[in-house]
Amino acid sequence: MPLVVRNTPRTDLEVVDGLAAAGVATVHEAQGRTGLLRADIRPIFRPARIAGNALTCEVAPGDNWSIHIAVEQAQLGDLLVVTPTSPCDDGYVGDLLAGSLLAHGVRGVVIDAGVRDVATLTEMRFPVWSKVISAKGTVKETPGNVQTPIVCAGAYVRPGDVVVADDDGVVVVPREEAATVLKAARDRNDGELGLDLYHMRGRLADKGVRYVDYTDRS
């Protein structure tokens, strides 16, 4: 029995936009190297960088009915996150649905399945991160859960978690930790990375690294 959860909490858009500015690699690092989606989820055009409140959606294989239900639950600043209930490469989202999502304030889509009409979506600059591009449309026979916690491309995503997506991939930040992670990401961008490089040479001897000159050993 599918479930649609209304009025789920969102993360403040100032925090969301701050995380977008930091970018996926930095956010992932700043929250302790967690929350990354599988690397085969790729943008349909580059460059692209957005963040949004997760609007979650489960779809049956070859069936996008629940995406239409999700559109009704959308709010300004949402990012639609779609996962199929079993692996499926069909093109769940096309230009009509993209237009409808845009009109409801949705900033983009992350989907562990396929997308179609990518020429039009690219012209519209409507960003989609997907596992595959496929011309195969879907039917509307079987609704699925909307705005419940899901696993998308290996990551656990709840409604209102922040999803950040750019050319490097996609990361999810739990709603409760979004402000803290943003602060850590900003500190990190301000130079913490330099520290990583520090003291490395000192540790090489401990690790037993041996430097030798080249002789013919090919």
The 198-217 contact track toward a copy of itself, x by CB under 8 A, reads: --x---x--xxxxxxxx--x
CA distance 216 to 38: 43
Backbone angles phi, psi at 46, to 5 degrees: -135, 145
CA distance 42 to 78: 19
CA distance 132 to 114: 5
Q: Is 127 helix (H, G, I), strand (E, B) or coil?
A: coil
Pairing label, strands 42-43, 128-133: antiparallel
- State the nearest-atom distance from the C-beta of 25 to a copy of itself, in Å: 4
For position 68 contacting a copy of itself by CB under 8 A, the verdict is yes
- State the nearest-atom distance from the C-beta of 13 to a copy of itself, in Å: 18
- State the nearest-atom distance from the C-beta of 190 to a copy of itself, in Å: 14
| Nearest C-alpha neighbor of 161 from the set 105, 95, 93, 110 | 110
Among 76, 103, 136, 183, binds a copy of itself (CB under 8 A): 136
For position 78 contacting a copy of itself by CB under 8 A, the verdict is no
For position 32 contacting a copy of itself by CB under 8 A, the verdict is yes
| Nearest C-alpha neighbor of 5 from the set 148, 181, 123, 101 | 148
For position 62 contacting a copy of itself by CB under 8 A, the verdict is yes
Among 14, 149, 183, 187, binds a copy of itself (CB under 8 A): 149
For position 167 contacting a copy of itself by CB under 8 A, the verdict is yes
Q: How many of the chain's residues bind a copy of itself (CB under 8 A)?
A: 84
For position 125 contacting a copy of itself by CB under 8 A, the verdict is no
Q: Check if the beta carbon of residue 113 is closer than 8 Å to that of residue 88.
A: yes
Among 61, 75, 104, 192, binds a copy of itself (CB under 8 A): 61
Q: Which two tokens mark 145?
A: 């859960």
Binding region for a copy of itself (CB under 8 A) out of 12-20, 63-71, 103-111, 178-186: 63-71
The residues pairing with 169 across neighbouring beta strands, listed in sequence order, are 166
Closer Cβ to a copy of itself, 76 or 140, answer by number: 140
For position 114 contacting a copy of itself by CB under 8 A, the verdict is yes
CA distance 105 to 95: 15
- State the nearest-atom distance from the C-beta of 87 to a copy of itself, in Å: 6
For position 53 contacting a copy of itself by CB under 8 A, the verdict is no
The residues pairing with 83 across neighbouring beta strands, listed in sequence order, are 58
